[in-house]
Structure 1
């Protein structure tokens, strides 16, 4: 049975996460050297700009990962109610997402996370069909290995000599054509896919954790109340821990915050949004707009990356190279705001016309085609 908690809270949380990725990735678009430039020549532009980069960092990624697991569990239950094979349905959905994400990576954004999500979903799927104790043990092992890897990488980062990043960059973001960027992504495939591979442990654990939260009653109005409050408390602990780490380690804490404390903050946001929005008969204006984005999450995610690329890259308006480095924070804020308004307006238009997002519709058609029962081969043909 669909509850207000489920129908509104998840959509709002998903919309918040999608727009949060825009706030995180806007800095990648407005740097003349793109993703590589933000890694090797960040030039944050002062304390205010540095804070604007740190605040959303990792939170949207963590929230999206857990929400993906929530969706996987709900889809598994739906497949069982229809009498379908949940294992096959899950595998088909993951493979369709992998195909869509591969196209998105090549044509739009080299920092795409959806490819990693698809692979993690394939790993997590069989575990969800086992007893819950297996899922909990698997999550514990994955998180333990992830924390150990984070500790080692952070120690290396803290002791990295200043200026070890290397010389000037030569990238096609500012001057290259659309096709030049496609070729550049292929040539640097290993570099651009390093993060999703490194996050496979965390992504898989997040999916399983999201599914476990559904089973524990996250979306049930009364039963999940205590669970949601505990998630909010975890989020507060994560935010405080992040502040301490940044104060002590400074830039050396980036891995611990982006891939550590951000997970706790993401869980807190999930609990807070589901609790607040699920308790209302009808979301307020902002909640409705976020929910509309959430219902067309894939289409809105790709659209915001396309719009930001067209504004900033050389094949479009080329704003990233045209604006001086000192004005980059202002450009980033402007691009982020303009794209967010366009994406929200597009999602609202879809909702008003009763249409699904085009990529959601395409994905659904592909899944139906792959899941359709095959006609038996006549005996004479055999």
Structure 2
């Protein structure tokens, strides 16, 4: 059976759980990256929170929501492919232009905002997967079965062969729950440094390379889970098995690699190996939760962020960077408890994103960066269609 044989001919109804999951993934990546933005909180004060609690708080979101975001991108590409099929358009059609624009977004984000950007890797991975979706489902499952072990093998090799010291490019969770040893630098010094050493952001040892290897398997997995009907009532057994795999297997593995295994490879295997298994459980749990109910207040707030995921992803990085570059000069933050201050910063940025998304969506159908992206896409493709264009993510 080919990859296109199960696509319905009518327009598919909107799945509200998808927007909620996108919102969870976006705010979850903020929870993982917030430790870098809060680098100078508690740098000179005496911590109030015991160190094990701080370390556990940093570990909890690490990698899980990156994995969820990666799976959601794969689902998004499959939705775009099915939409193209229903509209009678060829696939991948103009998707390479979409991937190119996403890559440009990521490159600008990498140079001018933060080095821990995922959009560049998602653009390259999406382009690869867009063509793989032309193959049969059997071939796609074979690719998943090959890429995931290859990805895990590369994680072990990178941890045992390559230099293991954390850098600004690769760090996502501090080993001791803080970044108190970091030194402040000016914004423009960072930009110049990013441009000067831009090749490091695409190197074998960078997160860019790791996410591509991980992403091919997870993108295809997300696309095939969507095609299997993971959001449909009839797939309750599938969702339950995925929750068992995610929480009963993924969480213990993640904790083992993070706290027990050797640090050289254990940290990477936790973030990029076990954490994506947990992400699958989160995906299935949210899909199951919304089978018999509509999103409530919390769900609607998360969905508002999810509907403008690109804008909220970029805005959270911009807000975090603004705080990071200004907090080092304020003794208040240096003397604050590291965990409490970091959680406070996460809460403030999250509330700001939700409020912005809710207010913006009252007047506009797309987020600000989505509008710019859509304008560029239509200009490059000379496309003027009445139906809304596919989302960039």
TM-score band by shorter chain is 0.7 to 0.9
- 8 Å CA contact retained: 2:118, 2:208: yes
Shift of 1:102: 1.1
1:129-278 mapped onto 2 (5 Å cutoff): 129-155=134-160, 174-176=184-186, 178-193=187-202, 194-222=206-234, 224-236=235-247, 237-249=249-261, 251-252=263-264, 253-278=266-291
Whole-Å separation in 2 of the counterparts to 1:320 and 1:140: 51
Is residue 311–residue 319 contact of structure 1 (8 Å, CA) maintained in 2?
no
Deviations 1:113-154 (A, max 9, x none): 110000111111111011111111111111121121223334
1:110 corresponds in structure 2 to 115
- CA shift at 1:331, angstroms? 2.5
Partner Cα separation in structure 2 for residue 79 and residue 2 of structure 1: 12
Question: TM-score, length-normalised on structure 2?
Answer: 0.81
Change (3 A) 1:233 1:332: same
Kept in 1, the 8 Å contact 2:103–2:119? The answer is: yes
2 CA distance for matches of 1:254 and 1:160?
10
CA–CA distance in 1 between the matches of 2:268 and 2:236? 32
Query: 8 Å contact 1:238–1:261 — kept in the other structure?
Result: yes
How far has the Cα of 1:251 moved from its partner? 4.0
Aligned residues: 349
CA-CA distance at 1:155 after TM superposition: 4.5
Aligned-pair distance for 1:7? Answer: 2.1
| Separation in structure 1 between the aligned mates of residue 324 and residue 139 of structure 2, nearest angstrom | 47
Q: How does 1:71-82 map to 2 (within 5 A)?
A: 71-82=76-87
Residues of 1 paired with 2:191 and 2:332: CA distance? Answer: 22
> Where does the alignment leave 5 or more consecutive residues of structure 2 unmatched?
1-10, 44-48, 166-178, 385-393
Whether 2:90 is the aligned partner of 1:85: answer yes
Residue by residue, what CA displacement relative to the aligned partner does 1:285-316 show, whole Å, maximum 9, x if unpaired?
Answer: 11110011000101011111111111121xx4
Cα deviations across residues 235-265 of structure 1 (Å, max 9, x unaligned)?
1110122233345326452111101110110
TM-superposition CA deviations, 1:28-50 (whole Å, max 9, x none):
112259xxx9xxxxxx9811111
Give the distance between the partners of 2:342 and 2:113, measured in 1 at CA.
18
Q: Decide which of 53, 57, 63 is 2:68's aligned counterpart.
A: 63
Q: Distance in 1 between matches of 2:111 and 2:291?
A: 38
Q: Which runs of 5+ in 1 are unaligned?
A: 38-43, 162-168, 375-382
Query: Larger helix proportion, structure 1 or 2?
Result: 1
C-alpha contact 1:217 1:227 (8 A) present in aligned 2: no
Contact 2:19 2:307 in 1 (8 A): yes
Is contact 2:68–2:276 with CA below 8 Å preserved after alignment? Answer: yes
Any conservation in 2 of the 1:311–1:317 contact (CA below 8 Å)? yes
Partner of 1:367, secondary structure, is: helix
Shift of 1:330: 2.8
Indicate how the Cα distance of structure 1 residues 160 and 358 shifts in structure 2: closer, same or farther if over 3 A, else same.
closer
What's the counterpart of residue 171 of structure 2? none
Provide the TM-score with structure 1 as the length reference: 0.84
Q: Secondary structure at the match of 1:86?
A: coil
